Amino acid sequence: MSADLDVIERAIDIDASPETVFELLTDPAEYVKWKGRLADLDPRPGGRFHVTFKDSAVRGEYVEVVKNKRVVFTWGWEGPQAAIGPGGSTVEIDLEPRGTGTRLHLVHRGLPAAELASHTAGWDYFLPRLTDVAEGRTPPA
Amino acid sequence: MDDALRAIAEPRRRDILRLVWHEERSVGDIASHFDVTRPAISQHLRVLEDAGLVTLRRDGRRSIYRARRTALHELRAYLAAFWDAELAGLKAAAERAEREKKGTYERRPRRH
C-alpha cells in the first residue's frame, strides 16, 4: 500500500493534441519553449534528459518513450545540495486524448519526503493529509 | 521551504530525522548512533532546526530534539506546487503551439 503513497500525482487538461504535448516533452527546441534555458534530450530508453536553468540543472535519463502516449524519465537536481540527486526519482507522464485536447497525468515517485516517511510508521499521520493534497484540499495544520 | 529541501539533501540529516521521528532524543543519544563528532551532529541539528524540521527543548543542560512531522507534509505540498507550476507552463506552451498550428492550417486553403 505504501508504494501507492510514495508519489505525487497530478492531472491537467490541455487544449492541444497529444502530438503537440509530446513534442514539448521530447524535442529539445520545443522543450525550452516552456522550461529551462537549454535542453539536451535524447528521447529513447537510456537517453539523456538534461535541462539547464539559470542557476540549477535537472539531470536524468529517459526510461520509456511511447510516441504521443507516454514518457518516463528519471529526475533529479545536479549539485551536492540537491534534495533529489540526478536520477534520484522517476517521473511518469501519460497523455490521453480527450476530445480535441489531452488529459496529462503525471506521477512523480521516489521523493525524499516519501523516503523519510516510509522508514517510519508515520503513514497513519501522513495518509489523510496526503489525500487532502492529492485531492486539492488544504489539509489541516 | 528551500531550506527544508536543502536540509534533507544530506543523508546523515535524514538519518537523524528518522531517529527523532517517534521519540525525542538528546544530542548525546543522537550522536551515539553515528561515527562522527558530537559538534558535527549539533551542526546537523541546527540545520534541521533552522529548516523547521525538528524542534528543540531544553531539559536542564540537555538539548532534546524531536521531529516536526508536519514539516514533511509541507515539503510534499511544496513539491506538488512545483509540479502544478511546471504543468501550467507546459499547458500554456502546448495551447500556444496548437493555436499556431491551427492558424497555419486554416489559412492554407484560402491561399489556393
Give yes or no: residues B57 and B86 share one domain. no
Both B53 and B97 in one domain: the answer is no
Which range of residues forms the domain containing residue B35?
A: 2-68
Q: How confident is the model at residue A134 (pLDDT cuts 50, 70, 90)?
A: very low
Could you tell me which chain A residue has the CA closest to the CA of B86?
Answer: A35
Using pLDDT thresholds of 50, 70 and 90, give the confidence band for residue B46: very high
Q: Terminus-to-terminus CA distance in chain A, angstroms?
A: 24
A30–B14 CB contact, under 8 Å: no
Domain total of chain B: 2
Q: Which of A46-50, A109-113, B79-83 has the lowest mean pLDDT?
A: A109-113
Q: Per-residue DSSP letters for A43-55?
A: -STT-EEEEE-SS
- Do the Cβ atoms of A89 and A108 come closer than 8 Å? yes
Which residues 36-65 in chain A show a CB within 8 A of chain B? Answer: none
The reply to whether B86 falls in a domain is: yes
Q: Does B36 touch chain A (CB under 8 A)?
A: no
pLDDT at A129: 42
What is the pTM assigned to this prediction? 0.66
Domains of chain A, CATH where assigned: 2-134 (3.30.530.20)
| B99/B55 same-domain check | no
Cβ–Cβ gap A16/B94 under 8 Å: yes
Instruction: Give me the pLDDT at residue B56, please.
Output: 95
Grid coordinates belonging to A57: 540543472
Q: Is residue B92 less than 8 Å (CB to CB) from chain A?
A: yes
Same domain for B59 and B26:
yes
Q: Which three cell numbers stand for residue B1?
A: 521551504
What average pLDDT does this structure show over A35-64? 90
Could B87 and A111 be called an inter-chain contact, meaning their C-beta atoms sit closer than 8 Å? no
Predicted ipTM beyond 0.90:
no
Residue B63's CATH number: 1.10.10.10
Residue A45 or B110, more confident: A45
Q: Residue A58: beta bridge partners?
A: A51, A77
Overall average pLDDT of the B29-52 stretch? 94
Q: For position B104, what pLDDT does the model report?
A: 66
User: Which of A14, A113, A115 is opposite residue B91, by nearest beta carbon?
Assistant: A14
Same domain for B57 and B8, yes or no, is yes
Q: Are residues B63 and B14 part of one domain? A: yes
Q: Tell me, yes or no, whether B73 lies in a domain.
A: no
CB within 8 Å: B79 and A113: yes
Residues B56 and B89 grouped into a single domain: no
Q: How far is the alpha carbon of A36 from chain B, nearest alpha carbon, in Å?
A: 11
Report yes or no on B13 lying in a domain: yes
What's B32-83 look like in SS3? CCCCCCHHHHHHHHHHHHHCCCEEEEEECCEEEEEECCHHHHHHHHHHHHHH
Q: Mutating which of B16, B48, B87, B104 best tests the A interface, going by the most A Cβ atoms within 10 A?
A: B87
